[in-house]
Structure 1
Amino acid sequence: MEPQAKQAVLEEDPEQLHRGLQLVGGLGPVVFNLALFCWFWGQWSVLFALAGVWAVLGFVNVLLVEWVTRWRGRGVAEWVRMLANLAGSVVGGVVTHWHPLAWVFVPYSLLLFSGMDRWVRLRTGVYLGGVAAAALLTGAEGGVTLAFVLIGVFGFLVSEKRITTLRGVLGQALRQREELERAHRALEQSHGELEAAHQELQQLHQRALEQERLSSLGMLAAGVAHEINNPMSFVTSNVNSMLRDLRDEPNLSEVMKEYVDDVLPATLDGIKRVNTIVGDLRRFARGDPEAHTSYDLDTEVETALRIAQGQLSHVRVEKELGGVGRSVGRPRQLVQVMVNLLVNAGQATASGGVVRIRTRREEHHIHVEVRDTGAGMSEETKRHLFEPFFTTKASGEGTGLGLSVVHGIVKSHGGRIEVESEEGQGTCFKVRLPLVPPLLQYEPSTDGGMRRRKV
């Protein structure tokens, strides 16, 4: 709790205590006035004077003091109350010739003055001094005056001590409440931190499982590619030997000539395509760390298109390769970026749609754009697009890691990736990469390749 707030509560609670005392304390004047009325019954001038004092003090204490409190504060209101009670005590004492029942009002009033603010003692002194002076000047007996003044003083001191003790107890209770609130906030904060740590641990565990599964799939793909590569080497060698031998034969039938001219060359083109795909798959599935090397982006785009062609068979693929030349980076990772973007584009586009990939080069950067005519994305999807494990696919159809990995690879190359998409209008991913990642000692050479910078 702030110090100002604590002080406000300490001020407010005695104020409420004061109001409660006023309600109870109001019974005293009623009883004393009834006793005075009974004692002086028949002395109508005294009774009228007492009734007037009672009415004025009732108005001041019930209405005027509260109004002054709202507009000028409690301190000013207590001065008004004290002066009104001083005047009432003097008038009541004079008209009753300072009867003991009139004197009782003096110590009784002081019980209600104590403990309210720092001026209370000054007001008490003014009140007692004023009443005593008026009493002595108007013929009151000195001994009685002194007796009631002393009763008022010590009654005030006892009441003030009681109020001070109550304030101390209240302050201690407030400190304890503050400590409990602080402990409660700390407990809530610790609970929130534990909950966040638990969620993060769950995410890390899930990510590790997905990574292990993807790693296993990569190893499986590399193994399959390796097993396919060996027999394809025999097939390639044998078909080449067959074609070469048949071309050396002078007398071939028309059927065999057709094999030499059309069938076997077409078969070799198919075998070459299979070998290329197998080589791309082996290179793509490798798990060993990849060093920065010089690469041709357009060549890597062709590789990505071959790997992703199974996911693009239902759409028309358009490519616009700008002859961007050579750059430095990790080409296998960049193939992974483009495969992910192409596969996502194919999955988001219905049959008969278009997926377009385009490359171009600026002075110090190269650009890749993958655009589709698919369903597009909402603003909510775009906000979470690159977060790990975020996916809009059905359960079991996606891990939510593809675009997160893409974002990480592009960032590690010192580039950036942007997305433009509207629902029903398709999507365009734009990747911007530097020719050389930051901190690498390479630069473009005059022949269009890359060379080490001279230090």
Structure 2
Amino acid sequence: MENQITLEDKLKERIKELTCLYRVSSLIKDSGFNDLKELLKEIALSLKEAVRFPEEAFVEIKVDNFVFVEGQKREDAIFIISAIKSFGKIKGSVTIGYSKQKFSENSFLEEEKLLLHQIASEIGDFLERKEINEKEEIAKRQIERVGRLTILGEITAGIAHELNTPLANILGFSELLKEQYKGDKVGREDLKKIINSAIYSREVVKKLMFFSCEMPQQMVSVDINIIINEAISLLKPSFNKKHIRCNITFSSDEIYLKVDKIQLTQVIFNLVINAIYFSPERGKIDINVIEKTKNVQIRISDEGTGIEPANSENIFNPFFTTKPTGDGSGLGLSVVHGIIKSHKGTIIHQPNSPKGAIFVVSFPKS
């Protein structure tokens, strides 16, 4: 199989290699970033056709968890390999191999080795562009989401102000009517329902105002470890009801931040109550408070159902909820977002492993 190569053969091999390079460049140029597997299959096929003995060769391309082999891979193979690098990190490899029983290392031409390195470099460049594109898409969605939340904040602020006056009137006149219905048991019960409904509506308005950052703040420097411990201790009945373990860790014995104590408590309450709601019986919730150079992170993780990708961009929107009707108003996380935003902080969510969700709240130290 390893006959001496003639000048004519060399010319044919160069034509095959140049054709392969052109074909691969065209494939990469025309390929969408979502068709990586199909692209790698086509590249493997083109590369196999470009080698000296295509009928006997196999080509293997590995990228992250994807592996594709064109031809029959042999365990006793003699092969050449080139790493696929993206931003200086090895992401995979391209391999050309023959059966060791029929071929030796001399079966590979130097030009074939150069071709292999060039193909690996082309794939690496494509992966870099793909990663840049994905980051741009994420940044674009985040900007759009911030814009939507800003508009929603303005709308909800207006709604809250408009509702405050009629709600105050309903409560005030209902209290006055109670005096006229002293002897009417049924009438008093009806009035009680009106008052309770108005109070509930007023609480919703308060949450809307929190979301739009319209509530006045009392910013003081406090040891947030104490606030978090007190908030969790008040939630013990909720933990016990589902037999959930709660582990709290602090990176320092004392972590001071300038915050509104009541609003910070509300953030912890809402996030932990959500974690409890979605946690399974006898599950575990971890709360890690980590002091860094420029900020303090609060990580709350659960073992629940996690957040569906389709819902990930909506969970901070007011009135959006995945809970059944009657179990939630859809304002908890929007209130949390508004409070954190007013503290110039950030909140993100990540998947937990092997299941569940992690909310990461970051407050700046200055």
Q: Identify whether the pair has TM-score above 0.5, normalized to the shorter chain.
A: no
Q: Which has the larger radius of gyration?
A: 1
More strand as a share of residues? 2
TM-score for both structures, normalised by structure 2: 0.42
Query: Using CA pairs below 8 Å that are at least 6 residues apart, which structure has the higher relative contact order?
Result: 2
Structure with the higher helix share, 1 or 2:
1
